[in-house]
Amino acid sequence: MVKQAFSDVRHWVFDLDNTLYHPSANLFGQIEVKMTAYVMEALNVPREEADRLRSHYWHTHGTTLAGLMREHGVDPDPYLIAVHDISLDHLEKDEDLAARIRDLPGQRIVYTNGSAPYAERVLEARGLSGLFDGIYGVEHATYRPKPERAAFDQIFARAGVAPAEAAMFEDDPRNLAAPHALGMRTVHVAPDPHEADHIHHHTADLAAFLNRLT
């Protein structure tokens, strides 16, 4: 039944963080430390206030970067370089996942709220380099973040994705709402399921799920 639901999918869109690697790697833990430090320096605030602001930006604007840009006019490029300067040493190559992605018919892209150069580093560490037809970061959506509909529209237009023939794989449930509204199949990739009308499928094991589709 799952295979049939994806039989006409020709565009496969993958989030990066906590989707193409297990969240136990906790890369975002490193990134959060960097983000807090950046907010502290950029706005000259103490750590507690920086953490409060990050939470506010995430809930209000979708990402810390979007909040810094819209509320304080922060230049996005130095921020993206700074917060993604993290260690990937503990990421492991995943030959099974690589094989499952390679077998998917049609176009395969990565779309992340991080930067494309960071995504390329993660893909290399996971042994997934060369499997995707495009790698798109927030910079390719004029720094608009998921879950904004306009961000998806920009990326899909740029990549040539036809939403009616596309599937989205994502760990953050709210980032699947716009793809669902566009007519895409939506797959929540996370250890625990999240019940919502805009989520069609859930998996805790991306490679196993993809194996059911080919």
Q: Residue 60: which CATH number?
A: 1.10.150.450
Q: Give me the average pLDDT of each 10-residue run along the chain (214 residues).
A: 93 98 94 96 96 94 94 96 96 98 98 98 98 98 96 98 98 97 98 96 98 91
Cβ atoms of residues 32 and 84 within 8 Å: no
For the entire predicted model, the pTM comes to: 0.95
State how many domains the chain has: 2
pLDDT of 214 reads 81
pLDDT of 1 reads 78
Residues 75 and 158 in one domain: no
Peptide bond into 145 cis (omega under 30): no
Residues 9 and 107 in one domain: yes
Domain containing residue 119: 2-21+91-211
Can you give the CATH number for the domain in which 110 is found? 3.40.50.1000
CA Rg value for the chain: 17
Contacts of 191 (CB under 8 A, 6+ apart): 23, 204
Residues 41 and 138 in one domain: no
Copy the structure tokens of residue 138: 């927030």
